[in-house]
Amino acid sequence: MTFTASDGTVFPDRDSWRSYEFELMYTFKNLTGPDSPPAKTDLQGQPFDIADCDGVTLLVLDNTDQVQIDNCKNCRIFIAASSESVFIRDCVNCTVTLACKQLRTRDCVNVSFYLYSKTEPIIETSNGMRFAPFNGAFAGHKEAMGRAGLIPEHNLWFGVYDFNDEAKTGKNWSIMKQEEEEPVWCPLGACENCCPRVSPGSISLPSQSGDGMGGGVTTTLPTVSAAPASAPAPASSGGMMSFTFDTNITEAARLTGDAYVAQETAQKLAIKDPNAAPAPPPKKKSGVGWNPGAFAEPEVAPVTVEEKKKKSPQKKSSVGWNPGAFAEPDPAPVVSAPAPAVPVSAPAPAPPAAPTAAPLTTTTK
């Protein structure tokens, strides 16, 4: 029996077929231009990986879960709708049209983003990063964003959070001038962009508002400028310094002050409070006969005299465990001892009767 992959490749066993099919359907890896692979249009919310590509155009045109993009150079990438975070690492000279819940980059140089982000984008050890509002369109994109839980009007593309710029000078990133932006990218033919243009600062950033929801506080943006002609390479880093890729989206949203996303994602990911006292281990219960509560003193409601009289005695089981066996017995009613009997003297014997004298008789002579 043989197994045929979606591209026609035949495999002798199921395991090798499944491994190949997964790589074929849910990854772009080790691709070099000028030829580009076909667009991915039927992903049904699965995660997607892109790695080690150079000089190609990569189209992910369906809603996805988490997306990872690693070590890509001179690529043009379209990510239609990620319901979770998009991680971009070690990428150079790329242009990315991207809609996601959260963008997080590390060790990237000269990457231009046409971005929809539900939360504030996060960069670290990256430079020469340029940002503009989302510019992609294809038939069905609005529906894909809906399946990913993305609201086109709520776009925080401009609110970049840079962990390597404590003074918030914006030295590692910039907002593109509108005249520098590329036109709408329609990879499947002419179509209207479903994401309205959101001007920088028109939505206040959760990290700068008191209510965590962007309550009308105007944001401070870096100076608008073009990317430097030659950006210096990022500093070597063995890992993210103050914010790691292992940090989940709920913690990241809390760090940036986005209470909306923090609350929304906390329903899926329960974050344990490190300051909370450890919960006591659950008591092990035996299934044979033993009842740990048998010796606990039960809470008894007061019983009136009338109820006590009416209450019939509880019948106790003669077989198996009787929880009442160890209960303190009701005290027996105290009965006063009878007073000792007073000894009664026996009546004195009657004196013997005096002998009756015989009548005297007179004899006449």
Residue 147's pLDDT is what? Answer: 97
Look at residue 179 and give its three-state secondary structure.
Answer: helix
Q: Which of 16-30, 53-67, 162-176, 327-341: highest mean pLDDT? A: 53-67
Q: Which two tokens stand for residue 282?
A: 């659950």
Is residue 263 over pLDDT 80?
no
- Measured distance CA(174)–CA(162) in Å, rounded: 11
Of 76, 145, 147, nearest in space to 112 by CA: 76
**Which among 111, 223, 42, 171 is positioned nearest to 103, based on CA atoms?**
111
Q: Averaged over 7-28, what is the pLDDT?
A: 91
If pLDDT is split at 50, 70 and 90, which confidence band does 146 have?
very high
**343's tokens:** 């000894």
CA distance 7 to 178: 41
Distance CA 50, CA 48 (A): 7
pLDDT band at 168 (very low <50, low <70, confident <90, very high): confident
Q: Round to the nearest angstrom and report the end-to-end CA distance of the chain.
A: 174
Could you tell me if 93 and 76 are in contact, meaning their C-beta atoms sit under 8 angstroms apart? no
* CB within 8 Å of 100: residues ≥ 6 apart: 67, 79, 81, 82, 84, 85, 86, 116, 117, 118, 150
Task: Note the pLDDT of residue 98.
Answer: 98
Confidence (pLDDT) at 7: 84
**Encoded amino acid at 70, one letter:** D
**CA 148 to chain centroid:** 17
- For each of the domains in the chain, give its residue range(s) and CATH number, in order of start: 31-266 (2.160.20.70)
Q: What is the pLDDT at residue 266?
A: 55
> What average pLDDT is seen over the chain?
75
The answer for residues whose C-beta is within 8 angstroms of residue 6's C-beta and 6 or more apart is 21, 24, 25
In angstroms, the CA 137 to CA 145 distance is 11
pLDDT of 57 over the 90 cut: yes
CA distance 52 to 30: 5
Check: pTM over 0.75? Answer yes or no: no
User: What 3 state SS string does 114-142 have?
Assistant: EEEECCCCEEECCECEEEEECCECCCCHH
pLDDT higher than threshold 80 for residue 362: no
